[in-house]
């Protein structure tokens, strides 16, 4: 696997492995180390190396896959692009730390919390996928040759599907939570009033779904579909989407490893059905349809949370 003989762009291959591996090692060291003044610098170094490593590895894969058949996918692996976006988003987050803009309970803080990942997805796809010629925005969006009314119908049908799945997922989450004896993580923040409430609606219903649909369906699903077919692409993109969302799990101070594992499992199993539905809608209705599903699903969850809060008060 590490032999250089016969590899195109061997330099990119070497830099990808060395910089990426060193970045991962620094980030693991960061997790193991205690608190200290050097943590931001160590985090920046690890994320910077990871960014360089994933970019180099992505460039190598684009060159190495150039001889594939025309119908195959010629770009970098979705996981590489995801790690690039992850490193970029966290580097931006580190840069924003001195400005004290991380509080998600404020309108600017919440909007930044969704804008930074969104921008990272767009930058990663632009640099590593579109600019390399692997996929175009049009190919990822899968906008069929339909009039505006047809695309609006795609969005509306997707939205109906998103609303329809809310209650079954909520019931399933409650049953699983009872079985696992843990409380389900809130997938969306509590809807407040004023500017904060508006920022939550804008971020959770518009910005976050757009960024996630661009990456997980328009890009990852499309890339895997070209090589593996729709069934495998659906399975992979849904599992990846659910795995990314377990990062939202927050352990309580008194949680042991078993309880944390139960929270992670619950979050994964709750997100997975929605992820599968999003892939199915994308396959049939393109990006416009899956956006309708995602936006309606998030909007419905926000509405239910607001109703529950109002009833409790």
Would you write out the chain's pLDDT as a tens digit for each of its 313 residues?
A: 566 777 888 899 999 999 999 999 999 998 887 777 778 899 999 999 999 999 999 999 999 999 899 999 999 999 999 999 999 999 999 998 877 766 666 777 888 889 999 999 999 999 999 999 999 999 999 877 778 888 999 999 999 999 999 999 999 999 999 998 887 766 566 666 678 788 889 999 999 999 999 999 999 999 999 999 999 999 999 999 999 999 888 767 677 788 888 889 999 999 999 999 999 999 999 999 999 999 999 999 988 878 866 655 5
What is the reported pLDDT for 191? Answer: 67
What is the reported pLDDT for 311? Answer: 52
What is the reported pLDDT for 269? Answer: 94
Q: Which two tokens stand for residue 229?
A: 């077919």
Parse the chain into domains and list their residue ranges: 6-134, 146-249+257-313
Q: Using the CB atoms, write b or e for 158-176: b if 16+ within 10 Å.
A: bbebbbebbeebeeebeeb
What is the reported pLDDT for 307? Answer: 80
pTM assigned to the model: 0.93
The dihedral built from the CA positions of residue 93, 94, 95 and 98, taken in this order, carries a sign that is positive
């Amino acid at each position: 696997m590490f032999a250089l003989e016969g590899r195109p762009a061997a330099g990119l291959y070497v830099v990808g492995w060395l910089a990426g591996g060193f970045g991962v090692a620094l980030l693991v060291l960061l997790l193991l180390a205690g608190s200290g003044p050097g943590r931001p610098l160590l985090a920046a170094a690890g994320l910077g190396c990871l960014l360089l490593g994933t970019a180099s590895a992505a460039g190598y894969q684009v060159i190495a896959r150039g001889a594939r058949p025309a119908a195959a996918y010629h770009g970098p692996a979705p996981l590489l692009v995801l790690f690039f976006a992850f490193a970029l988003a966290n580097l931006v987050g580190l840069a924003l730390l001195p400005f004290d803009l991380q509080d998600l309970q404020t309108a600017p803080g919440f909007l930044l919390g969704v804008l930074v990942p969104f921008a990272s997805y767009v930058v990663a796809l632009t640099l590593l996928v579109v600019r390399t010629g692997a996929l175009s925005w049009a190919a990822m969006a899968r906008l069929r040759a339909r009039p505006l009314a047809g695309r609006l119908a795609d969005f509306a049908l997707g939205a109906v599907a998103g609303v329809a799945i809310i209650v079954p997922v909520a019931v399933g989450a409650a049953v699983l939570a009872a079985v696992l004896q843990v409380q389900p993580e809130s997938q969306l923040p509590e809807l407040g009033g004023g500017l904060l409430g508006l920022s939550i609606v804008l971020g959770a219903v518009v910005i976050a779904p757009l960024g996630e649909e661009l990456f997980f369906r328009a890009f990852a699903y499309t890339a895997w579909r070209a090589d593996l077919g729709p069934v495998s692409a659906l399975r992979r993109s849904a599992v990846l989407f659910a795995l990314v969302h377990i990062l939202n799990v927050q352990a309580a101070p008194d949680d042991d490893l078993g309880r944390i594992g139960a929270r992670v499992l619950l979050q994964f199993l709750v997100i997975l059905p929605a992820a599968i539905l999003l892939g199915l809608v994308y396959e049939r209705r393109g990006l416009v349809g899956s956006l309708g599903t995602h936006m309606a699903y998030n909007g419905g969850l926000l509405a239910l949370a607001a109703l529950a809060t109002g009833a409790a008060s």
